[in-house]
């Protein structure tokens, strides 16, 4: 099978070459993302392999169909960027990697908390420059603080276990509570109570119409002054303008985000020599108590291995005409 891999970075290629060695697939790697402007690159391929910021809208999928592409293999779990209806109409199968490593994302959420709290990023730079002062580096103990979690699915549950390990009081809101987590000491509360009681709030629910801007001015108003907010889920869970106001008013004491509502035009690109076309992220970056990473919470060796192997298995099942375990229909 001939497969066009879009949005390829060096590390994607490394993993495909490592784990795809014994397979019969013929991969071509493209750095560009897939969309209407680049769909012609798919000519002569049986399948396309894509990631979170490729745009598989109606026109792109019709373009793929006219070139004989039969399979879209997503290297991620989310599929909000794919027009499934058009894919179905054109008899193109869509497969994904439903879960790779919840621990990777949960551990990154804790890394954001510890960095913001203990300011290790600042201490590192200071000491390298010969500044051994501790001024303004003071943090707080996580022990016995209340950590609130919205969404206790695979990632939220892994994060609950980490937070419990620090001796924190873990409170959570989810539409469905987990008996396992309750037995470990997680206390389920209403959304409002979690907002009101948390010293640190970590978001782990999916982005849906219901959760869009779940952290907005109204929610922020009910939270503790100086609260730390962590988002490793999806950018649009937070209303960026509202959180900017809350940072200015010092209502929010710390913000750690791995995702950003307008990340599509920024993340995974090296814009260090460019003019950044986004005033909101520049304003966020101007706060000393804001830490931003560019959607890297998933990025561990274990997760990359899982993503690659599942993608290869998905393509192999398609090639062999087997049932597609990870098909999105
Ligand atoms: P999951 O489906 O296992 O868990 C999601 C949980 O959220 C479920 O328990 C569900 O009941 C709950 N939920 C749904 N709607 C809710 C609502 N309105 N209020 C409260 N809880 C609600 O998903 P997961 O694997 O734990 O992933 C969670 C999210 O993490 C994903 O949706 C994705 O956006 C994000 N993610 C980020 C990265 C990254 O690299 N930053 C990587 C993978 C996933």
Which tens digit of pLDDT belongs to each residue from 158-205?
999 999 999 999 999 999 999 999 999 999 999 999 999 999 999 999
The domains of the chain, with CATH numbers, are 2-100+301-320 (3.40.50.720), 102-292 (3.40.50.720)
Nearest CA residue ID for atom 15, ligand 1: 205
Tell me what pLDDT residue 185 has.
98
Tell me what pLDDT residue 23 has.
74
CA-CA distance, 298 to 282, in Å (whole number)? 24
Q: How many CB atoms lie within 10 A of CB 283?
A: 15
CA-CA distance, 18 to 205, in Å (whole number)? 33
Q: Which two tokens stand for residue 152?
A: 């206790």
Nearest CA residue ID for atom 8, ligand 1: 153
**Best of 110, 148, 206 for a ligand 1 pocket test (most atoms within 8 Å of beta carbon):** 206
Q: In the chain, what percentage of residues exceed pLDDT 90?
A: 91
Q: Is 307 within 8 Å of 49 (Cβ atoms)?
A: no
Query: What interface predicted TM-score (ipTM) does this complex get?
Result: 0.99
Which tens digit of pLDDT belongs to each residue from 108-128?
999 999 999 999 999 999 999
Residue 21 has pLDDT above 90, yes or no: no
> Residue 227 to residues 196, 252, 257, 323: CA-CA distances in angstroms?
10, 5, 14, 48
User: Is residue 234 among the annotated active site residues?
Assistant: yes
Cβ neighbours for 66, distance < 8 A, ≥ 6 positions apart: none
288 CA → ligand 1 middle, Å: 28
Catalytic residue among 75, 96, 234, 261: 234
Of the pLDDT bands very low, low, confident and very high (cuts 50, 70, 90), residue 265 is confident
User: Is residue 196 among the annotated active site residues?
Assistant: no
Of the pLDDT bands very low, low, confident and very high (cuts 50, 70, 90), residue 81 is confident
Of the pLDDT bands very low, low, confident and very high (cuts 50, 70, 90), residue 24 is confident
Average pLDDT value over all residues in the chain: 96
CA-CA distance, 254 to 140, in Å (whole number)? 12
CA-CA distance, 246 to 249, in Å (whole number)? 5
Angle value at C-alpha 195, between 192 and 199, nearest 5 degrees: 150
Tell me what pLDDT residue 188 has.
98
Nearest CA residue ID for atom 5, ligand 1: 153
> Residue 309 to residues 137, 170, 298, 306: CA-CA distances in angstroms?
43, 34, 15, 5
Which tens digit of pLDDT belongs to each residue from 274-314?
999 899 999 999 999 999 999 999 999 999 999 999 999 99
Q: How many CB atoms lie within 10 A of CB 131?
A: 11
**Best of 174, 203, 215, 294 for a ligand 1 pocket test (most atoms within 8 Å of beta carbon):** 174
Lining residues, ligand 1, CB within 6 Å: 77, 99, 102, 105, 150-156, 173-176, 204-208, 210-211, 232-234, 258-259, 295, 297-298
Q: In the chain, what percentage of residues exceed pLDDT 70?
A: 100
- Strand (E) positions, the chain? 2-5, 26-29, 47-50, 71-74, 93-95, 146-150, 169-173, 187-188, 200-203, 227-231, 252-257, 290-292
Catalytic residue among 75, 108, 204, 295: 295
Tell me what pLDDT residue 228 has.
99
Catalytic residue among 55, 62, 261, 263: 263
């Amino acid at each position: 099978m001939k497969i066009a891999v879009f949005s390829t970075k060096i590390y994607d290629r490394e993993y495909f070459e490592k784990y795809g060695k014994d397979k019969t697939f013929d991969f071509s790697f493209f750095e560009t993302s897939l969309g209407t402007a680049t769909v012609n690159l798919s000519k002569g391929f049986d399948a396309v392999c894509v990631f979170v910021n490729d745009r598989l809208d109606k026109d792109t999928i019709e373009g793929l169909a006219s070139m004989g592409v039969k399979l879209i293999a997503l290297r991620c779990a989310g599929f909000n960027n794919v027009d499934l209806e058009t894919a179905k109409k054109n008899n193109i199968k869509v497969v994904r990697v439903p879960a790779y490593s919840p621990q990777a994302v949960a551990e990154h959420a804790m890394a954001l908390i510890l960095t913001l709290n203990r300011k290790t990023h600042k201490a590192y730079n200071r000491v390298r420059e010969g500044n051994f002062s501790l001024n303004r580096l003071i943090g707080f103990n996580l022990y016995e603080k209340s950590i609130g979690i919205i969404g206790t699915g695979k990632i939220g549950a892994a994060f609950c276990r980490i937070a419990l390990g620090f001796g924190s009081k873990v409170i959570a809101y989810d539409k469905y509570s987990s008996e396992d987590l309750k037995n470990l000491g997680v206390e389920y509360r209403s959304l409002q109570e979690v907002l009101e009681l948390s010293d640190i709030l970590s978001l782990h629910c999916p982005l849906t119409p219901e959760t869009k801007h779940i952290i907005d001015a109204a929610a922020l108003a009910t939270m503790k002054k100086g609260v730390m907010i962590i988002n490793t889920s999806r950018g649009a869970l937070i209303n960026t303008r509202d959180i900017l106001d809350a940072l200015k008013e010092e209502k929010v004491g710390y913000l750690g985000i791995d995702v950003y509502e307008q990340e599509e035009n920024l993340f995974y690109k090296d814009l260090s020599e460019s003019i950044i076309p986004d005033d909101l992220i520049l304003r966020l970056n101007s706060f000393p108590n804001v830490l931003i990473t560019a959607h890297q919470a998933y990025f561990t060796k274990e997760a990359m291995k899982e993503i690659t192997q599942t993608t290869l298995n998905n393509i192999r099942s398609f090639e062999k005409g087997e049932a597609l375990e990870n098909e999105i229909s």
